[in-house]
Amino acid sequence: MRNFQASDVKSHFDRIAPGYDHWKKKNHYYHSLLKEFYRKNIPEGSRVLELGTGTGEILASCRPGRGVGLDISEKMLELARTKFPAYEFYAADAGDFILKEKFDYVIMSDLLEHLPDIPKAINCVYNALLPGGEFICTAMNPFYGPVIALLEKLKVKMPEGPHAYISSKNVEQACRRRGFEFTARESLIFFPARVTLFSAFFNKIMPELPFLNKLCCLQVLKAKIHTADTDYGNKRKF
């Protein structure tokens, strides 16, 4: 059960915003693999919307022709606007927004676990996509929840704040109920730290091995939309 509110998440990320990029640099290898994944899956020049954009690093790495980032933390967005003035950034709750335009891709990286209401966010994603558009998200494997908690206590990982891990199957069900065609459930990153030869080798082969791929750190979810949807509801517009 998700016993936190969007306001709790906002307060946490406003508080850690000044040190956010420091934590990302501290775990550079992991975040470089994330950026590489999104670059490979999104053609350069696409129209891309990122939910939970933070300071805009992943959005910028996609090299979009039109890039928009949403985040619940205005303090994060202040940093994003300074770093990447070519893109637009707006403060919004991922479960309660609508833009006046639609996109080829909507992406989420490490955001699902921070959403109080996942079906509402999936609905917003659906409404933000063009016909044929694709939703791509990466989320932490719940299996590693205790490890993540330990790393936080040891201060070698950024504090996550309010969150609740969720299985990819549950997200897939939410996507299908909204009308998405679910296209892939994959795994990514077996070893998130750089160890010469070891990391590159296992990060390449482990995601492809049945059963063993369940030991990878990240769940990857992909879904497509094939029909336009004008069900805008009473949500925030930009």
pLDDT tens by residue, 29-43: 999 999 999 999 999
Q: Cα dihedral sign for 105, 34, 21, 115?
A: positive
What are the residue boundaries of the structural domains of the chain, listed by start?
A: 6-226
Residue 167: CB atoms within 10 A of its CB come to 14
Answer yes or no: are the C-beta atoms of 51 and 125 closer than 8 Å. Answer: yes
Average pLDDT over residues 81-99: 95
- What DSSP assignment string belongs to 94-142? TTSEE-SS-EEEEEEES-GGG-S-HHHHHHHHHHHEEEEEEEEEEEE-G
For residues 204 and 36, give the distance between their C-alpha atoms in angstroms, rounded to a whole number: 13
pLDDT beyond 80 at 237: no
Q: What fold characterizes domain 6-226?
A: Rossmann fold (3.40.50)
- What value does the mean pLDDT of the chain take? 92
Per-residue DSSP letter, 89: E
pLDDT computed for residue 236 by the predictor: 58
Average pLDDT over residues 143-154: 92
pLDDT beyond 60 at 228: no
pLDDT beyond 60 at 235: no
